[in-house]
Structure 1
Amino acid sequence: MGFFSKLFGGSKSTEPKVVEPVEYKGFLIYQEALAEGGQYRVAGRITKQYGEELKEHRFIRSDVVGSESDSNELMLKKAQMFIDQMGDNIF
């Protein structure tokens, strides 16, 4: 079966996508849009280092847009607004 999958394009790369974080007020924002039915769901994570402990908040929004870049841009804006509102209480 593996041969036919490769021949007809059924095999996709399973390598994880490397996401460069955006620093905002001491937090790192990772934009990780999720492909869903030809569109992209706004998703990502916010992290912050506290001494030796790394805290992380993951979220998936109900917002769905047409392109990955639009999804990532919207995620960044929403994450920045969330940080402004909640600060360290995110975790």
Structure 2
Amino acid sequence: MASFFSRLFGGGSRQEPDAAPADSASLQEQDMTIRARPMKEGGQFRLAGVIEKTVDGTLRTRSFIRADVFTSETDAADAALRKGQQIIKEQGRLLFADAEDNRAV
């Protein structure tokens, strides 16, 4: 009964949080994998992705989110793959030189 009242008066709104973006495309660059993960925001998609590399048997991940938004998920994924390539070209081996398993770039 309490849940009925809390929903009636706005306390029980059960909106699911946005699900983690699914990989929509991937690309091998050097010894790393770039995965596009466009994030849906309203009617648009924000450029986002991850760069992964296995170092000493441990999968390390570098995530990136940029301000660019696109009307199409495919366009956002393509841009994320290009951005991942750019990050790798700029940072190279230093991208995974620290001991962090996961961090944003």
Query: C-alpha distance in 2, partners of 1:18/1:74?
Result: 14
User: What do the CA deviations read for 1:32-82 (whole angstroms, capped 9, x no partner)?
Assistant: 000001000000100111121111101110000110000000011111011
For the residue of structure 2 that corresponds to 1:87, the secondary structure is: helix
Q: Percent identity?
A: 33
Task: Establish whether residue 75 from structure 1 lines up as the match of residue 75 from structure 2.
Answer: no
Return 5+ residue gaps in structure 1 as ranges.
Answer: 1-10
Q: How far apart are 1:90 and its partner, in Å? A: 1.7
Indicate how the Cα distance of structure 1 residues 57 and 21 shifts in structure 2: closer, same or farther if over 3 A, else same.
same
Return 5+ residue gaps in structure 2 as ranges.
Answer: 1-15, 97-105
Partner of 2:5: none
For the residue of structure 2 that corresponds to 1:21, the secondary structure is: strand
Match of 2:30 among 25, 28, 39: 25
Runs of 4+ that moved beyond 4 A: none
TM-score for both structures, normalised by structure 2: 0.67
How many residue pairs align between the two structures? 81
Match of 2:55 among 50, 53, 69: 50
Give the alignment's Cα RMSD to 1 decimal: 2.4
Q: How far apart are 1:17 and its partner, in Å? A: 3.6
Query: C-alpha distance in 2, partners of 1:83/1:33?
Result: 19
Query: C-alpha distance in 2, partners of 1:35/1:52?
Result: 33
Indicate how the Cα distance of structure 1 residues 72 and 84 shifts in structure 2: closer, same or farther if over 3 A, else same.
same
